[in-house]
Amino acid sequence: MEDYIRIAGGKPLEGTVSIQGSKNAALPMMAASLLHKGVSVLKGCPRIADVFCMEEILRELGAVTWWEDHDLYMDCTNADKTEIPAAYTGKMRSSVILLAVMLSRNKKGCLGYPGGCVIGKRPIDLHLYALRQLGAKVEEGTELIMASCDSLRGKAIEFPKRSVGATQQAILAAVMASGETELLNCACEPEIKWLCRYLKTMGALIQGEGSSLIHITGVKELNGGCMKVPPDRIVAGTYICAAAITRGRLVLENPPEGELDAFLEVYRKMGGQYKGKSGKLIVNGNGIRYPVPFLKTEVYPGFPTDLQSPMMAVLTTIPGQSRIREQIFEARFKTAEELVRMGAHIRVEGREAVIDGGYPLQGCTVQAQELRGGAALVLAAMAAEGITCVEGYSYIRRGYEHICEDLSLCSS
């Protein structure tokens, strides 16, 4: 498959798109499936590169997997291997949460350091802190992380700062640990709530999911899991930005409910309109005309960092000055350089980007360097004059199943 997209811009989007299953919910659910020595199924699972990578890792550990349309079946009866080569873990940061399930299942685990994007420092110290608190011995080598335990034991753990991945790591380790575990200062992103609900379908005893305080009573064994993967809030937000940047109108089928409030508030302040109707979300970007004097990314329920780059692309098309402060990942303004190549007026000042909007975007060749920035370049191309070639499509495929098809159908 070619690693680029050619886009002819300049047309307002009009049509209907269906929101795929959530990448950030599916990946930890797949990891959780290893906690049962049998078959689990994720219905409506997105067929995207990151899911396929996690599927390869499960197979490397001995699982048998198969698809029926968008339903992913995982038979983890014999998934008893305890080492994941760096060739797999280097592709995807979320692979680190497999340490918890290997420890719970086999009392040891070894994996290469996790990789993924280039958006900034993403240390795993809080992951390892949580595992050590629950009784694991963790050794950090130059190329591998090795963990072992006689048994995992419940404990009260307070995270010094909120981390989605570390919260998921602790939950996965605690559900089969002996005794009670109390997790304080947890991240509250919806993906954590969905992981807990999936684990509860497997028989886990969890209270407080979705809050900063989660209580877990360990059980000796879990059943097979079965759950529909929730809609992807970041894909939904990206498509709303697509309507906004082209001043178009889209109907979103299977939208996330209540997970995009902070984003929609900014969209509304820019002049965007939206309404829910019969389980659908109708968005109209025709009235987009107001810059955003100050926007900052925050942990949930604040404005999501994953939608910062798509929003920046939209702001380049609005006359006036907007300012974005990135508080989550320090290197998430790389997309600004590519937008400038297209004619945008953006200057980066440390953790802030100042956008002087309203200058026309021109098609050219640009380079995606990470997932969400790549999606932002696709949106900019939709609004640009002429042809844009977005190279690095492989980054975009990590999280978007059919972005090209969706936007093409709505621009014809």
User: Cα–Cα distance between 190 and 28 in angstroms, integer?
Assistant: 12
Dihedral sign for Cα atoms in the order 252, 256, 258, 261: negative
The span from the CA of 307 to the CA of 376, in Å, is 9
Distance CA 391, CA 368 (A): 6
CA distance 134 to 183: 11
Point out which residues pair with 43 in neighbouring strands: 228
Q: How many helices (H) and strands (E) does the chain have?
A: 14, 23
Has 117 been annotated as catalytic? Answer: yes
Q: Which is nearest to 297 in space by CA: 332, 335, 271?
A: 332
DSSP per-residue string spanning 248-316? -EEEEESPPSSS-HHHHHHHHHTT-EEEEETTEEEEE-TT-----S-EE--STTS--GGGHHHHHHHHT
- Six token digits for residue 379: 């949106």
Active-site position among 76, 110, 117, 196? 117
**Which amino acid, residue 175?**
V
Going by the DSSP 8-state scheme, the letter that residue 114 receives in this structure is P
Helix (H) or strand (E) holding 215: strand 213-217
Asked whether 231 and 275 are in contact (CB, 8 A), the reply is: no
Q: Assign 106 to helix, strand or coil.
A: helix
The residue whose two tokens read 């100042």 is 354
> Please, what is the Cα angle at 269 between 381 and 273, to 5 degrees?
70
**Dist. CA 268–CA 280, nearest whole Å:** 18
Amino acid letter, residue 221? E
Strands (E), 100-203: 108-112, 137-140, 144-148, 156-158, 180-184
Q: What are the DSSP calls for 36-80, one per residue?
A: SSSEEEEET----HHHHHHHHHHHHTT-EEEEETTEEEEE-TT--
Q: Tell me which residues are annotated as active site.
A: 117
